[in-house]
Structure 1
Amino acid sequence: MKTMSNKRVFVTGGSQGIGRGIVEAFVAAGAKVAFCDACEPDSSFPLSENCLFFKADVTDVTALTEIVEQLFADWEDIDILINNVGIGGFSPLTEMTVKQFDRIIATNLRPAFITSRLWALHRSKMEVLPSYGRIINMSSTRYLMSEPGSEGYAASKGGIVSLTHALALSLSEFHITVNCISPGWIQTKEYDSLTEADHEQHPSGRVGKPDDIARACLFLCDQDNNFINGQNLVIDGGMTKKMIYV
């Protein structure tokens, strides 16, 4: 994988799980990374001058906007935007309130629109337009498959897939490609506690890890991979291709 040296990266929801894996992968590849999260990163997180943290609730439009605009002021532009932040919010349909549903949409879907729009506005004012730009939005295999009580999450992740191909067209004039990733089962902690059955049900023979998603992000952000645009990359060990009857 080519280096990400001198690339300026902003990741939402980067303190833990898949987001943390993405942040660490880009830092290791030489990028300058900023990330936001409602939760503080733990003491083991490698914060440095090349890895900046902003505490923010992404449902707060003003707070998210201020972070992005601060990065534009400090960095002049960004090169890579990864809209990763997300919450589950699973609840029986008869118990879920409209307020809870709106909270999921405001966390998982709306920030991707806000950050992408801000970047478009910023580049529209630049006298010399950069030739490189990447957006990766985090969806889920639940955009196409569900279980009871997942209405809010499924709606938000389906929205991410649709928003992605719309943004790919709108942002092409600014030399920004837009793709999304739909992870399947990605175990973010206590991987050793998984059972043999957990792994064996996957055609790939194992449950996924955050690094699986981080490597895909690095691939999509490669300088030469600008012909991949508007796509949804499913990374699930083959599970969505597996026919299951009970």
Structure 2
Amino acid sequence: MTAADPVVLITGGARGIGRGIAAHLVGQGWRAVIADRAAPAEPLPFAHRFLEIDVSDEAAVAALVDSVAAGEGRLDALICNAGFMIRKPLEQLSLAEWQAVIGTNLTSAFLLARAAAPLLRQAKGAIVTIASTRAHQSEPDTESYAASKGGILALTHALAVSLGPDIRVNCISPGWIDTHGGTLSAEDHAQHPAGRVGRVEDIASLAAWLAGGESRFVTGSEFIVDGGMTRKMIYAE
């Protein structure tokens, strides 16, 4: 790889969807900087630079972007993927737990976009946020997660309007994505109109398209990738 190759910064990139996006982009010739709260359990099998940080911390995010400017010299795409869920009955959910989820899932995207805007503007780059179909529908006891992902949707179109035309901002909302390679039943797959549970590659390929030049007329949009589940009427029989 050379200094002329595009650079992507991916949060939550040590595992799951973030790891898949990083691997896909590196395979397309991008240089990847991966930021995560914890190092991967095993070395990632592709070229990258890893930084262990808490993306909900303002000073840490500023230092992260400064490190990219100094180390890579440019930033062409930012993938805001970091996030986690606390599933707990509302009456038992503490304010500290609520704030932790909002901080990592939502506030981090604001901090990253604000810090990275100058570099992205120079590159005429792109931001891709990762929300969830849970921004549109919920299971019980997921208030903090749903609120954070709904906030990501609104933040995405606000950033697209504020940062355009130099920086495009789009959102991917995954449904059920198998990130662990576990055993899935025939029913798990069959309930999806697309005929199967989602794979990490389904998100990675879309993220790569949104980060790259082929999507230059696309901004402020949400892309739901859920095999059709949010379009399916489900009633108890």
Does TM, normalized by the shorter one, top 0.5?
A: yes
Q: Assess if the C-alpha contact under 8 Å between 1:47 and 1:53 holds in 2.
A: no
Runs of 4 or more, structure 1, over 6 Å off, are none
Structure 1: gaps of 5 or more residues: none
Displacement of 1:43: 2.3
Aligned pairs, number:
233
Q: How does 1:198-213 map to 2 (within 5 A)?
A: 198-213=188-203
Partner of 1:70: 67
Displacement of 1:119: 1.9
Q: Does 1:218 pair with 2:217?
A: no
Deviates more, 1:71-80 or 1:88-97: 71-80
Change (3 A) 1:172 1:40: same
Task: Provide the C-alpha distance between the structure 2 equivalents of 1:123 and 1:146, rounded to a whole number of angstroms.
Answer: 34
1:111-147 Cα distance to aligned partner (Å, 9 max, x none): 11011111224567xxxx44x2110000000001001
Partner of 1:103: 100
Task: Provide the C-alpha distance between the structure 1 equivalents of 2:169 and 2:120, rounded to a whole number of angstroms.
Answer: 15
- Taking structure 1 as the reference length, the TM-score comes to 0.91
Q: How does 1:101-180 map to 2 (within 5 A)?
A: 101-122=98-119, 129-130=122-123, 132-173=124-165, 175-180=166-171
Deviates more, 1:69-78 or 1:179-188: 69-78
1:62-91 Cα distance to aligned partner (Å, 9 max, x none): 122201111012223200000000001111
Task: Provide the C-alpha distance between the structure 2 equivalents of 1:123 and 1:208, rounded to a whole number of angstroms.
Answer: 30
Output the amino acid matched with 2:21: I
Displacement of 1:44: 4.2
DSSP 3-state at the match of 2:38: coil
DSSP 3-state at the match of 1:94: helix
DSSP 3-state at the match of 1:197: helix
1:86-111 Cα distance to aligned partner (Å, 9 max, x none): 00111111110111001000000011
DSSP 3-state at the match of 1:215: helix
Task: Provide the C-alpha distance between the structure 1 equivalents of 2:175 and 2:114, rounded to a whole number of angstroms.
Answer: 28
Q: CA RMSD in A?
A: 1.5
- Taking structure 2 as the reference length, the TM-score comes to 0.94
Partner of 2:178: 187
DSSP 3-state at the match of 1:82: strand
Change (3 A) 1:123 1:10: closer
Q: Assess if the C-alpha contact under 8 Å between 1:134 and 1:178 holds in 2.
A: yes
